[in-house]
C-alpha cells in the first residue's frame, strides 16, 4: 500500500455547500477508516473552512483517485481545484 495526498480548495462561494454536505463527507471518511490516515480542513484567514486535505493509503493512484471521486464533497461540486498525488512521510510519522 502507498500513501497519497488528496488536496482540495473550495470554490469561493463554497462554505454553504460544505456545511450542507459535511455530515455526508464525515460519514464517508468514517466508513473508510482503514484508508484515511490523516485529514482536515484548510482554513481561511477568518477561520472558516476553505478546503480539505486527506492522507490516504491505497493500492494505486487509480484507487486513490476513485476514493476521491466518490467523496460527497466532490459530488456536491464544492471544489474549485483538487489534486491526488503520491506521498511519502519523511519527517514525523503517522500512527
Cα separation of 23 and 67, whole Å?
Answer: 17
Question: Do residues 70 and 6 lie in contact, with contact meaning Cβ atoms separated by under 8 Å?
Answer: no
Q: Do the Cβ atoms of 77 and 21 come closer than 8 Å?
A: no
pLDDT at 95 (0 to 100) = 60
CA atoms within 13 A on the CB side of 54: 25
The SS3 call for residue 63 is helix
| pLDDT value, residue 44 | 92
Pick out the chain residues at pLDDT < 50. none
Residue 77: per-residue pLDDT: 93
Q: What is the pLDDT of residue 7?
A: 97
Amino acid at each position: 500500500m502507498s500513501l497519497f495526498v488528496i488536496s482540495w480548495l473550495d470554490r469561493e462561494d463554497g462554505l454553504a455547500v460544505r456545511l450542507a454536505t459535511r455530515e455526508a463527507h464525515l460519514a464517508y471518511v468514517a466508513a473508510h477508516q482503514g484508508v484515511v490516515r490523516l485529514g482536515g480542513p484548510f482554513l481561511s484567514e477568518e477561520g472558516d473552512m476553505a478546503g480539505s486535505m486527506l492522507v490516504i493509503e491505497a493500492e494505486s493512484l487509480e484507487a486513490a483517485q476513485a476514493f476521491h471521486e466518490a467523496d460527497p464533497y466532490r459530488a456536491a461540486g464544492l471544489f474549485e481545484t483538487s489534486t491526488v498525488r503520491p506521498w511519502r512521510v519523511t519527517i514525523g510519522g503517522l500512527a
